[in-house]
């Protein structure tokens, strides 16, 4: 018992070194995606894989396992969510997870997914699913195998979901997603046929990218992204990455004829970044200073993007600033018309371009299909048909090609099964958090209209960010909102907003 503090320090230092190596590799990857010379790719891959291998061998050092074992025997379990107990619990969980997987399976999966992404890319370019089918079959079967090792007698798909959303139960997801799905299908159909429709062409005028950059930076800074501890850059596929406790990089993509892409990309990534910047520095690289789950991470981006960024009060605040920046381009546009355009709902084929109402239907389709693939109820060869049927059923549209249908996302080719549902979990949690924050903080609309984001920001800091991985996503939702995760807050928020716009 007396050695416990020393042992804890040894374990923390060991982990911090792994985190440092990881952050270095992440920096190289950030650089790779922000303008690295085209021919530098091969050496960069060697640099990154060398660092990843060093991290891996550091994390699987048998001594580390012994320390963790000793530590878990002597850790006080009275307060399961305090920092030290959580630290040990989560590290042991990660350790056991790693040791459940046979080394050769890791290697086979890695080879299959590298190949899978190449073949997927080829198939998409040729618009031919059959090119991808054999690789997908291989990946599905390896992921089934992985799921069985991880599940240890339980549901393989559930164990794959838990890789991204620890503690999530597939049956709960089924119930929540089904009770979300039918009202969304009805809502989307209703809005599609509404006589009053937004003028989306407002967003398609020529908006100089230099001006869009100004607006994006202004908004990111205003909602609380700290530019002394982060930066905003551009890339082809926006993302957010943390390269140290005070170095969060967010990236967006501008189109000169598309006002909302760059701006909402920024707000979304800034939401992720604000979460990362809210993790506690003292626990950097350790579970109490890490994000809880992908669903919670996505809830932070979606809350700022949708609950805040697509609201009328927010635009009442931002509109005069936007007008100043873009000048004549917005001269003839009222804030109400702009806000309506930014909330246009229309069934479409591509997930990443989908609006807030249809987005979750894209996810539910993927969730249902991947669950059936891993469960063995659906064969990879049957996927295109099942995909198209689901799009017809839920969105009322048919992909004219595999490229704009079943082949649009990289995820499955990269072995990411169980990842898609975290997007919708994020949307659900975002609405639920926002409603709870509003109940506690009073009239948020008024605050947004004045550009006062600090109370909402503080609520997120207190209820989500500071807890790191001490709680699961479901526990954070319960603690912060008083209720289990449910579809009602999201449905209510959508219905209220669209009612005002479309009726």
Within 245-284, the residues that bind a copy of itself by CB under 8 A are: 245-248
Tokens at 445, concatenated: 């609309």
Residue (43 or 328) nearer to a copy of itself, CB: 43
Q: Report the first-to-last Cα separation within the chain, whole angstroms.
A: 67
**The one segment of 39-47, 120-128, 132-140, 160-168 that binds a copy of itself by CB under 8 A:** 39-47
20 in contact with a copy of itself (CB under 8 A): yes
Closer residue to a copy of itself in complex, CB, 209/439: 209
Which H or E run includes 500? helix 488-502
With CB under 8 A as the contact rule, the residue among 4, 8, 10, 44 that binds a copy of itself is 44
Report the interhelical angle of 259-278 vs 209-223 (nearest 10°).
Answer: 30
According to the binding rule CB under 8 A, does residue 43 interact with a copy of itself? yes
CA 290 – CA 278 distance, rounded (Å): 10
DSSP state of 376: T
Structural tokens at position 270: 């800034």
Nearer to a copy of itself, 29 or 370 (CB): 29
User: Among residues 158, 163, 269, 368, which one is catalytic?
Assistant: 269
d(CA 273, CA 268): 9
Contacts (Cβ under 8 Å, ≥6 apart) of 55: 18, 21, 22, 25
Tell me whether residue 269 is one of the annotated catalytic residues: yes
Here's the x/- map for a copy of itself, 211-240, by CB under 8 A: it reads as ----------------xxxxx---------
Beta carbon of residue 46, minimum distance to a copy of itself (angstroms, whole number) = 7
Query: What's the CA gap between 182 and 102, in Å, rounded?
Result: 41
Q: Select 44 or 149, whichever has its Cβ closest to a copy of itself.
A: 44
Name which of 455 and 461 has its Cβ closer to a copy of itself: 461
Residue 431: count of CB within 10 angstroms of its CB: 24
Contact (CB, 8 A) for 47 and 123: no
Q: Out of 8, 10, 33, 47, which residue is the one contacting a copy of itself (CB under 8 A)?
A: 47
The least CB distance from residue 25 to a copy of itself, in Å, is: 9
The pairing of strands 248-252 and 240-242 is: antiparallel
Residues known to be catalytic: 269
Instruction: Give the footprint of a copy of itself on this chain (CB under 8 A).
Output: 17, 20, 23-24, 27-28, 31, 35-40, 42-44, 46-47, 50-51, 227-231, 243-248
């Amino acid at each position: 018992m007396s050695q416990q503090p020393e042992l804890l320090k040894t374990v923390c230092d060991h982990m911090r070194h792994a985190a440092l190596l990881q952050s270095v590799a992440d920096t190289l990857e950030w650089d790779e995606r922000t303008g690295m010379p085209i021919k530098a790719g091969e050496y960069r891959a060697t640099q990154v894989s060398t660092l990843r291998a060093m991290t891996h061998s550091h994390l699987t050092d048998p001594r580390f396992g012994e320390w963790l074992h000793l530590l878990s025997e002597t850790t006080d379990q009275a307060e399961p969510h305090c920092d030290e107990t959580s630290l040990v619990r989560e590290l042991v969980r990660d350790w056991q997870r790693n040791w459940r997987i046979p080394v050769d399976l890791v290697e086979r999966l890695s080879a299959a997914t590298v190949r899978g992404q190449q073949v997927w890319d080829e198939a998409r370019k040729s618009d031919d699913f059959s090119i991808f089918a054999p690789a997908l079959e291989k990946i599905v079967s390896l992921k089934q195998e992985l799921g069985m090792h991880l599940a240890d007698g339980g549901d393989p798909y559930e164990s794959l979901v838990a890789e991204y959303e620890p503690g999530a139960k597939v049956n709960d997801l089924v119930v929540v997603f089904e009770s979300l799905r039918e009202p969304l299908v009805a809502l989307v159909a209703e809005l599609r046929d509404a006589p009053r429709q937004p003028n989306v062409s407002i967003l398609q005028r020529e908006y100089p990218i230099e001006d869009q950059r100004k607006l994006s930076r202004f908004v990111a800074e205003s909602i609380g992204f700290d530019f002394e501890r982060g930066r905003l850059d551009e890339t082809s596929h926006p993302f957010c990455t943390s390269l140290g406790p005070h170095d969060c990089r967010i990236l967006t993509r501008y189109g000169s004829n598309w006002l909302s892409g760059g701006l909402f990309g920024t707000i979304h990534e800034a939401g992720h970044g604000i979460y990362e910047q809210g993790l506690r520095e003292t626990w950097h690289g350790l579970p109490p200073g890490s994000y809880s789950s992908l669903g919670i991470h996505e809830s932070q981006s979606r809350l700022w993007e949708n609950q805040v960024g697509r609201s009328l009060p927010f635009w009442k605040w931002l509109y005069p600033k936007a007008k100043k920046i873009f000048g004549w381009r917005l001269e003839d546009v009222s804030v109400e018309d702009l806000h309506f355009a930014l909330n246009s709902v229309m069934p479409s084929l591509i997930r990443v371009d989908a609006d807030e109402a249809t987005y979750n239907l894209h996810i539910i389709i993927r969730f249902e299909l991947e669950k059936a693939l891993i469960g063995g109820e659906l064969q990879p060869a049957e996927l295109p048909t099942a995909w198209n049927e689901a799009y017809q059923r839920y969105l009322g549209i048919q992909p004219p090609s595999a490229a704009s249908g079943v082949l649009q996302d990289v995820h499955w080719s990269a072995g990411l099964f169980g990842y898609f549902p975290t997007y919708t979990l994020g949307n659900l949690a975002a609405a639920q958090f926002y409603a709870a924050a509003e109940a506690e903080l009073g009239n948020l609309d008024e605050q947004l209209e004045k550009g006062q984001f600090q109370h909402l920001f503080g609520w997120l800091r207190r209820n989500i960010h500071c807890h790191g991985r001490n709680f699961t996503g479901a526990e954070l939702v319960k603690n912060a909102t008083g209720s289990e995760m449910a579809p009602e807050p999201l449905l209510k928020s959508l219905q209220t907003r669209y009612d005002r716009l479309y009726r």
